[in-house]
Structure 1
Amino acid sequence: MTSSDPDTAREALQAAIARLAGGDRAALEEIYHATSRKLFGICLRILRDEREAEDALQEVYLDFWKRADRYDPARASPISWLACMARNRAVDRLRAGGKVRKGAVPEEAACDVADEDMPADERLLLDERDARIHHCLGTLEARQQSAIRRAFLGGATYVQLAEADGVALSTVKSRVHRGLAKLKKCIERL
């Protein structure tokens, strides 16, 4: 389930959660391997004790196994939901102890445990923007589309494009300039 692409990793985790909610016990192992390091880090940061953090993490996965059907991908990313469960479990363990253990982070500081995933609302806005851009790119003439994709998405210089296409540098610049103007108009209409 490991992937360098956050969207692919998120989708794989969501699929595993859905399988777990449907009764597939093997999905819990996938979820554990994909998330345990981050969740253990959260528990350890709050509790400052490895044994306590391990116990808290075990409780998180036991609770998650029972509640996987409650996960709603529209409300949070899978890792955000699990991180919240880990944080809450660690804080509960602090409270149950009746005192803050030596070196433990105060409960208020537990909120500062960073979630490296982009917030869902920002991700939606970026996904919508990307969809509009790709839709509009698809409306361009093939040579303009190719030049823009290779220059802006592939990192090629105009000189490299001219050499690869066997055309003058001014031709490449014109294609890109006209293509970008059309792209801008298309995006503004959407």
Structure 2
Amino acid sequence: MLRIAVGDHAAFRTLYDQQSPQLYGLALRLLRQPEIAADAVHDTFVEIWQRAARFDPERGSVGAWLGTLLRYRAIDIHRRTRREESGYERPEEVDRAPDPLDNLESSEQGRALRLCLDTLEPRYREVVVLAFLDGQSHAELAQTLATPLGTIKSWVRRALGALRSCLGS
């Protein structure tokens, strides 16, 4: 990753040759459409090229980091697709409700919750936001994040426990 961070095209090509088949398989499982999966892999490798210097080997392996980048890309695609499938709304009918996270800032409790959310590990924060603000069920979370259902339930339980502890202090 260090070589890629300094612009080494050969190192990037080697990484692509080694990792793209696995990432494509993951993307295909997550997105279930070959063209969209290929786009997600492409976008992920663009992000890798741009963010290689941010890779921290102490936080995990290269493969895990690449998988995480791809999962976030798939989540973005899934959200965008869900919005597009909901259909066109005439401008005067568009919901002008603020983002649920923005609503948290409007009260003291909300500000405290937002601060506590920011202290959670990224995967825990992600499941809380997807479950409670986007309304995804545990099964939908498992599918979106390509993670076993039991793991999702455990993450939600741990996240809620951490939020409870943070808010109680």
TM-score by length of 1: 0.46
Is it true that 1:18 corresponds to 2:2 in the alignment? Answer: yes
Matches of 1:111 and 1:45 in 2, distance apart? 10
Q: CA deviation at 1:49?
A: 0.2
Does 1:68 find its partner at 2:52?
yes
Residue number in structure 2 paired with 1:29: 13
In the aligned structure 2, how far is the partner of 1:78 from the partner of 1:36? 13
More contact order relative to length (CA 8 Å, sep ≥ 6): 2
Number of the residue aligned with 1:58: 42
Name stretches of at least 5 consecutive residues in structure 1 with no aligned partner: 1-16, 115-190
Larger radius of gyration between Structure 1 and Structure 2: 1
- AA aligned opposite 1:110: T
Equivalent residues, number: 95
Superposed counterparts of 1:1-190, under 5 Å: 17-98=1-82, 106-113=140-147
Is the Cα–Cα contact under 8 Å of residues 28 and 65 in structure 1 kept in the other structure? Answer: yes
Residue 107 of structure 1 and its aligned partner are, at CA, apart by 4.2
* Matches of 2:147 and 2:39, distance apart in 1: 19
Q: Does the aligned pair in 1 maintain the 2:44–2:73 contact within 8 Å? A: yes
Mind listing any 5+ residue stretches in structure 2 that lack a counterpart?
86-138, 149-169
Matched to 1:64, the amino acid is I
Kept after mapping to 2: 8 A contact 1:42/1:113: no
Deviation track 1:86-107 (CA, whole Å, cap 9, x = no partner) reads 1111111111112598xxx944
Deviations 1:6-52 (A, max 9, x none): xxxxxxxxxxx110001112211100111111111111111100000
Amino acid in structure 2 at the alignment position of 1:23: G
SS of residue matched to 2:143: helix
Return closer, same or farther for 1:49/1:106 CA change in 2, 3 Å cut-off. Answer: farther
Preserved CA contact (<8 Å) 1:91 1:107 = no
Deviations 1:147-172 (A, max 9, x none): xxxxxxxxxxxxxxxxxxxxxxxxxx
Q: Tell me the percent identity.
A: 34
Contact 1:100 1:106 in 2 (8 A): no
Higher helix share: 2
For the residue of structure 1 that corresponds to 2:57, the secondary structure is coil
Partner of 1:23: helix, strand, or coil?
coil
User: What is the CA distance between 1:54 and its match in structure 2?
Assistant: 0.3
